[in-house]
Amino acid sequence: NNNNNNNNNNNNNNDAEQVFVTAKYAGEDKELFERNVYLLRKQAAVQMDKQNVECYVVSLSSSTIVYKGQFTPDQLYRYYSDLTNVDFVTHIAVVHSRFSTNTLPSWCRAQPNRMVAHNGEINTLRGNINFMHAREGVMESKLYGDDLTKLYPVVEKNLTDSGSFDNVIEFLVRAGHRSLPEAAMTMVPEAWEKDEEMAPERRSFYRWAAMCMEPWDGPALMAFSDGRYVGAILDRNGLRPARYYLTDDDHVYLSSEVGVIDLPVGSIIKKVGLFFPSFLHPFLFICLFTSQPASFNEIFSSYSINFELLLLLYLSLL
């Protein structure tokens, strides 16, 4: 039990439990384990909803841990004593602190979510959720097979726009073969249709993504991580602020506002406003920053399909 609740908010009767889940077999594939615990968590959510049990699994992963609640920033450390332990270290962190704006606050709605922290609004939310529900009747997954329906509903009830987005991006990563950056760009595409200067392989990716899913439009800034990738992306409206800093001690800081972290001026190598899209990509515990467009070449090159030729071939077969 990790409930050291010394805060004074008016919803202080929550019990937070940390539970450890181990793989059935030693040396089990990491991605397989992540898919199994994702399935376990989704099934648990369905059963708890059927039995009207008020319980929320904050995170269940071998790669990330989520600490959140209805706190001020300093209260978080007093509640979760892990965060004050000198042996508790990480190479990446996604932090979110704000007041609820268009929804009632609750512990489960607090941010960050399991993969995403969000600043802004999703103004296409109702349509996005309805389309996602409609797809559940026709979707297939080679990874889950007949168990895919056990992951439904993809978007769970009573969530915020941030929580709904988080449900879908997690589903795309776990149930398919998309990387987290690829899933993010599928849901939050560039304004590509009338950009005549866009590279063909880049256009091919977004054309393919548009066939799979309609955009989740903001204005919104999304920060995300699955323990392997960490990044941030602006929707195509570009109306939310974001700025990143590179320092001489090999750290990268990205925040939605200037001045969130006090950094010595002499330590800053580079500071840039985030434009669509950019990703922070850590690999093997070394944080490497790659800026647009080089960071997307690997993703885009796998979608370098001539769709006009493909359409012509299809029509010739009719």
Half-sphere exposure of 318 (CA within 13 A, CB side): 5
Q: What is the mean pLDDT of residues 92-110?
A: 84
- 53 and 125 in a single domain? The answer is no
The most confident of 3-7, 183-187, 299-303, by mean pLDDT? 183-187
Confidence bin at 142 (pLDDT 50/70/90): very high
Same domain (yes/no): 39, 135: no
In a domain, 8, yes or no: yes
Percent of the chain with pLDDT over 90: 44
Task: Tell me which of 89, 121, 144 is where a domain ends.
Answer: 89
pLDDT at res. 297: 64
Is 106 within a domain? no
pLDDT digits (tens, 9 = 90+) for 182-238: 899 899 998 888 888 888 888 888 899 999 999 999 899 899 999 888 888 888 888
Q: How far apart are CA 185 and CA 217, in angstroms?
A: 12
* 19 & 158 share domain: no
pLDDT of 303:
61
- Give SS3 for 144: coil
Provide the domain count of the chain: 2
* Residue 255: closest CA among 27, 97, 50, 52: 97
State the CATH number of the domain containing residue 245.
3.60.20.10
pLDDT of residue 277 exceeding 90: no
Q: Is residue 107 part of a domain?
A: no
Residues 27, 128 within the same domain = no
Residues 169 and 307 in one domain: yes
Answer yes or no: do 148 and 252 share one domain.
yes
Residue that is last in its domain, among 23, 58, 89: 89
Look over the chain and give the mean of its residue pLDDT values, rounded to a whole number.
83
Q: Within 10 A of 261 (CB to CB), how many other CB atoms are there? A: 11
Residue 139 lies in a domain: yes
Quickly state the pLDDT bin for 13 (edges 50, 70, 90).
Answer: low
Q: Which has the higher per-residue pLDDT, 241 or 83?
A: 83
- What does the pLDDT read at residue 289? 43
Average pLDDT over residues 42-53: 93
Are 89 and 28 in contact, with CB atoms under 8 Å apart? Answer: no
Please tell me whether residues 122 and 73 are part of one structural domain.
Answer: no
Residues 87-115, mean pLDDT to the nearest whole number: 87
Q: What is the mean pLDDT of residues 11-23?
A: 79
- Examine residue 105 and state whether it is found in any structural domain, yes or no: no
The per-residue pLDDT for range 55-99, each reduced to its tens digit, is 899 999 999 999 999 988 889 999 999 999 999 998 889 999 877
What is the pLDDT at residue 279? 54
The parent domain of residue 173 ranges over 91-99+112-317
Per the domain annotation, does 299 fall within a domain? yes
Strand-strand pairing, 268-273 and 286-290: unpaired
Do 80 and 157 belong together in one domain? no
